[in-house]
Amino acid sequence: PSRSAAQCQSVCATPSTRHGSTQAQIKAYEASAAAIAATISAKVAEKGDRMPDGMVPIVQEFMRTYLDVVAKQKRDPMEKVPVLKEYLGLVEDQLDEPFVFAPYHEAWTEENGAPIDHLKMDTAFMEPMLDPNDSVLLGSERVKDIEALLAKGDNVVLLSNHQTEADPSCWSFALHENHERLERDMIMVAGDRVTTDVVAVPFSKARNLLCIYSKRHIDNPPEEKPKKMRHNAKTMTAMLRLFKGGGKCIWVAPSGGRDRPNSDGVYTPAAFDPKSVEMFRLMSAKAADKTTHFYPVAMMTHRLFPPPKTLTPGALGEPRRAIRGSVNIAIGEPIDFDEVTRAGCLVDDFPPGCVEDREDAAQVAAEYAHLQVSQLYADLVKDAKDRGSPYYSADRY
């Protein structure tokens, strides 16, 4: 029997007709996104006198590009209005009463008794930005190894490169389905930008953070350097307490900041600061009752919120442009630093039989760790090219 006209509208449509219908739907969603963005922009502009200089256009562009990402997925942007309202309300709260992060900040989640679950907001906000179909976790079997080490009271330090403010969200995305406890318990080492910038603070409150002033920003402005150094000393005390407690997983970028592209637009892991790597080794030595394991980690995530191409010391309020991308993480074999720096001492006569040459040993340790991360990053680039990633293939990595 012949199909009815109504049936044929959906079943018998030609590819060109279906393509035209899809394009029309996207256009309609894009128009809706633009209208919502215009409404948000007007409300943000009304609060301009309360925002830091230059922040109004940053928030407006952030919201506009975010809604455009949603529309281009053939999704109704209205779906995300509730989480945008929640996020912007949290930004306004930060303007009204700036939140001061303690040296060690525990995540504001319902599980931890917080009035607002920032992790839930972060997850809902980031959902359209992260493509599950193009995301990879190389070395995923090592996550179970890490969980087993933590369960018996050992510590784990993830020595990683860093590419986007959204890297903590990328870890949540990668771990949530099968490793939610690790997702929630992981501790991030965070610089002052993400704990003072009003756009970033609502997301930062979602994480367990060891808050420091990085070497890139500690001297700006000069008159605040003593206060920043005192803060960092308190953070080191908190970190040692965590190490001694055991069962902690800490993610840190020993480069002190995000990777930047070279003159050809290609990203590679930035060099590690020997003092940063050495500081974590020293903390592990001081907490000798608990074994600490060091894992190299590579992250290829820069597309999500591309960092500025150049550094502006002391400046806050960088542009945010939302772009959809995938999460690419690789975890390598643990590093035996005692073997790598056999001749070097962490402290006097430790490890036994060491040679007193700490600076050289620290340099060797940092270079070795960076080499491992760089090799893992090359694996991520190759994997993206091999699978034809729409985000990180050809010259787009």
Task: Tell me which residues of the chain have a pLDDT lower than 70.
Answer: 1-20, 310-317, 343-356, 394-397
How many helices (H) and strands (E) the chain has is answered by 14, 8
- Which pLDDT does position 8 carry in this prediction? 46
Report how far residue 23's alpha carbon sits from residue 375's, in angstroms, rounded to the nearest whole number. Answer: 41
- Which pLDDT does position 43 carry in this prediction? 95
Report how far residue 199's alpha carbon sits from residue 197's, in angstroms, rounded to the nearest whole number. Answer: 5
Q: How many CA atoms lie within 13 A of 255 on its CB side?
A: 19
Report how far residue 87's alpha carbon sits from residue 375's, in angstroms, rounded to the nearest whole number. Answer: 37
Report how far residue 52's alpha carbon sits from residue 322's, in angstroms, rounded to the nearest whole number. Answer: 21
**Could you read off the pLDDT of 274-310 as tens digits, one per residue?**
999 999 999 999 999 999 999 999 999 999 988 777 6
Identify the residue whose tokens are 């930004």: 91
Cα distances from 355 to residues 282, 286, 288, 362, in angstroms, run: 16, 19, 20, 13
**Residues 142, 295 contacting (CB under 8 angstroms):** yes
The neighbouring-strand residues paired with 359 are none
**Could you read off the pLDDT of 195-224 as tens digits, one per residue?**
999 999 999 999 999 999 877 778 888 898
Contacts 24+ apart (CB under 8 A), 177-180: 178/143, 179/143, 179/147
**Which tokens go with 140?**
């995923």
- Which pLDDT does position 318 carry in this prediction? 77
In this prediction, what percent of the chain has a pLDDT beyond 90? 75
**3-state percent helix, strand, coil for the chain, nearest multiple of 5:** 50, 10, 40
Report how far residue 213's alpha carbon sits from residue 296's, in angstroms, rounded to the nearest whole number. Answer: 23
- Which pLDDT does position 357 carry in this prediction? 74
Query: What count of other Cβ atoms lies within 10 Å of the Cβ of residue 197?
Result: 19
Report how far residue 304's alpha carbon sits from residue 320's, in angstroms, rounded to the nearest whole number. Answer: 10
Identify the residue whose tokens are 């989640």: 109
pTM: 0.89
- Which pLDDT does position 355 carry in this prediction? 53
- Which pLDDT does position 1 carry in this prediction? 41
Report how far residue 228's alpha carbon sits from residue 37's, in angstroms, rounded to the nearest whole number. Answer: 38
Identify the residue whose tokens are 């975890």: 331
